[in-house]
Amino acid sequence: MAKGTRANAALDKAGIAHGLHAYDYSADVDSKGVAAAQALGIAPARMFKTLMAWVDKQPVIAVIPSDQRLSLKKLAASCSGKHAQMMEIPEAERRSGYKVGGISPFAQQRPATILFADDVQLHTSVYINAGQRGLLLDIAPADALHFLQARCADILEG
């Protein structure tokens, strides 16, 4: 079994129920989230990816289904901002303390506003990166939202 991470240690400390699931990570796939869902035999809609962005120069973490695309316009509007753009990889890694492909919204090094796509509420549990490539955690959406002090918003394209 894979070792724990800052993310699952923080959840353990808070008494938040969650599971850990290791899989064979590959950087050579188009959609890492969809590949992870396939590796675990779950629907891609239950596999959520963590994206780092800026909204009017403020850091924002967007957590969306792996088979969907983030709407930067909706993200900006959801944060009462005018402009959103994706964070560059080196900055995302510095701010989160995790490597791309293993970024978790849990236990990031620097605080940021966290938004989940509304779709998270459709599931009893979702899978989110645990802070290490090839390691996911499953958690009840309500527990994730409460622990992260996050909110849901319409941030998906389409």
Give 1-44 pLDDT, tens digit per residue.
446 799 999 999 999 999 999 998 877 777 888 888 888 999 99
Domains of the chain plus CATH, in order, are: 19-153 (3.90.960.10)
3-state class of 134 per DSSP?
Answer: coil
**Gap between the Cα atoms of 11 and 75, Å rounded:** 26
Q: Which pTM value belongs to this model?
A: 0.94
Question: 6-14 and 141-148 helices cross at what angle (nearest 10)?
Answer: 90
